[in-house]
Structure 1
Amino acid sequence: MKLEEALKEIGLNEKEAKIYLAVLEIGRGTVQSISQKAETKRPNTYVVLEDLRKKGLVSLINESEKVTYTAESPKKILEAQQKKEKIMKENLPELLAIFNTQKEKPKVRFYESEDRLVDLYDDIFKSKKVDIFGSINSISASILDKIWWSLEKVRKNKIEVREVLQADKESIDYAKKYSSENHKIKIAPESVIFPSDNILYENKLVIFSYKDIPMAVVIESDDVATTYKSMFEIMWGNLE
């Protein structure tokens, strides 16, 4: 790796790397001699030298009417990097605590329009395990026509699907037709109503609503998903 590239890798910009190397090579020089060596414009060279001085990589020497700059040892760069690493290590636990707090907050996304809902179903059935409670009757007919392919995907890819469906005719007929070893379907008591289609996969809960405007809410949260999966297990275990 070229020296200039190496300096850029550890945090200097292109002009800083070029001018630091120029000062290092000539040992000591005026702004003019350094700009000539670095092949940079004099005003820019002065600005960059001041930046390097603030970083502790060059020193300014006043001699009567002449001002010169000299390079500090390259070890200073390593020491500066080690100091930054030490500061980062000391503050890492607190920074991670903030990161994890934000990470644990549920992420909520809203989807509207039939095309976006169909895309969402496509994402759901990329998962290896899906739990559903709802009603075939609750799904918009036009969307239903667009997502029948998901049943073939379940069969072909052996996706583990469990469904608890409302006891309406459409759902009962669907259960009779599509139940299989990896696609298990149970029918809820007639007193149970599911106005929305609810799907659990990975760490997400998806609630589809087809009343008035088709829409879906996706809640991505380990805690929320675990809660609803536990509720689903209770419901599933109490049905034949």
Structure 2
Amino acid sequence: MKIEEGLKNLGLAEKEAKVYIALVRLGRGSAQSVADESGIKRPTAYVILENLIDKGMAVKIPRARKKLYEAKPPDEFFAEAEERFALSKTILPELMAMADKTGPKFKTLYYEGEQNVKRMLSGINKKMAGKEILGFYARETENISSEMNEFFHQWNEDCKKNGITVRGLTPDDPSLEWYRKRTEYFGHVFKYLNMKDYSSECSIEIGDDFIQIFSLRYMQGVYMENPDVARTLRQIFEMVWAARPEKIEGALSEDK
């Protein structure tokens, strides 16, 4: 495949591809030198160079006596294109669900990466306002980013603001001590299970007609909209909740 055709496949117009290739060859150049290299008239080359700057594919050289341009390194451009494609691909299951005209409109969506997992988790605050979330929760993952930690603090505040209560089962692990001290403030009820019985590294949240499973260690999440699955997991949760002897409201496990 020719280089120009490959760039066009990435969304560049024909003349944009020619100008970008010319700028890569030159390394650095004025609108006139780019026009000469690409075979495009100077006024057109100037407009296209400005378009490439808007697309993040070129930059102006600061403090130059005349306007000079430099191409973004091709490896950086392709890495960003791959990242944009990966982010865009996360909406594919939802689009496919919209296109499916047969059967109930239930969705199963997959999320990967910190920003996408945040997006999945944020959705529950809209769906469950004024209701109770049930959950099998994980202990806190090591090396979680400060941004993700801040997100969870805000997530709990948003639950409180939206009248959402959480009833959960989670490992009796020191990493959750900060949360245990605020359980009553948030209006949540938890049983902390002996680590020998339950040492989960992933969490399952159960809503009215959906569940979501997420792993913060690998930054992956799955959202499944299905009332039968949600009802079954709610029943399993209630059986485990009733069977466990631990105290609630963040009390230490009596098994220790």
- TM-score, normalised to structure 2, is 0.49
Q: Which residue of 1 aligns with 2:195?
A: 190
Identical counterparts, % of pairs: 24
CA offsets 1:89-137 (integer angstroms, 9 cap, x no match): xxxxxxxxxx8x8218x63210112111112121112212211211241
Q: Which residue of 1 aligns with 2:132?
A: 129
State the secondary structure of the residue aligned to 1:171: helix
Note the C-alpha offset of 1:176: 3.0
Structure that is richer in strand per residue: 1
State whether residues 160 and 186 of structure 2, in contact with CA within 8 Å, keep that contact through their aligned partners in structure 1.
no
State the secondary structure of the residue aligned to 1:131: strand
In structure 2, distance between residues paired with 1:124 and 1:181: 16
Q: Which residue of 2 aligns with 1:206?
A: 212
Q: Which residue of 1 aligns with 2:30?
A: none
State the secondary structure of the residue aligned to 1:125: helix
Over the aligned positions, Cα root-mean-square deviation in angstroms equals: 2.5
State whether residues 133 and 166 of structure 2, in contact with CA within 8 Å, keep that contact through their aligned partners in structure 1.
yes
State the secondary structure of the residue aligned to 1:138: coil
User: Residues 139, 119 of structure 1: CA spacing in aligned structure 2 closer, same or farther, 3 A cutoff?
Assistant: farther
User: Residues 179, 164 of structure 1: CA spacing in aligned structure 2 closer, same or farther, 3 A cutoff?
Assistant: farther
State the secondary structure of the residue aligned to 1:190: coil
State whether residues 166 and 187 of structure 2, in contact with CA within 8 Å, keep that contact through their aligned partners in structure 1.
yes
Counterparts of residues 12-31 of structure 1 (less than 5 Å): none
State whether residues 139 and 199 of structure 2, in contact with CA within 8 Å, keep that contact through their aligned partners in structure 1.
no
CA offsets 1:22-54 (integer angstroms, 9 cap, x no match): xxxxxxxxxxxxxxxxxxxxxxxxxxxxxxxxx
User: Residues 197, 138 of structure 1: CA spacing in aligned structure 2 closer, same or farther, 3 A cutoff?
Assistant: farther
Give the count of matched residue pairs.
Answer: 140
In structure 1, distance between residues paired with 2:169 and 2:108: 24
Q: Which residue of 2 aligns with 1:226?
A: 231
Amino acid in structure 2 at the alignment position of 1:194: S
Q: Which residue of 2 aligns with 1:17?
A: none
In structure 1, distance between residues paired with 2:225 and 2:142: 22
State the secondary structure of the residue aligned to 2:108: strand
State the secondary structure of the residue aligned to 1:137: coil
State the secondary structure of the residue aligned to 1:111: strand
State the secondary structure of the residue aligned to 2:194: coil
Q: Which residue of 2 aligns with 1:27?
A: none
State whether residues 172 and 187 of structure 1, in contact with CA within 8 Å, keep that contact through their aligned partners in structure 2.
no
In structure 2, distance between residues paired with 1:139 and 1:227: 31
Structure that is richer in helix per residue: 1
Amino acid in structure 2 at the alignment position of 1:149: Q
Counterparts of residues 1-240 of structure 1 (less than 5 Å): 102-103=103-104, 107-126=107-126, 127=128, 128-138=131-141, 141-142=144-145, 143-180=148-185, 182-191=187-196, 192-211=198-217, 213-239=218-244, 240=247
Amino acid in structure 2 at the alignment position of 1:206: Q
- TM-score, normalised to structure 1, is 0.52
User: Residues 215, 139 of structure 1: CA spacing in aligned structure 2 closer, same or farther, 3 A cutoff?
Assistant: farther
State whether residues 140 and 210 of structure 1, in contact with CA within 8 Å, keep that contact through their aligned partners in structure 2.
no
In structure 2, distance between residues paired with 1:228 and 1:138: 24
Note the C-alpha offset of 1:147: 2.5
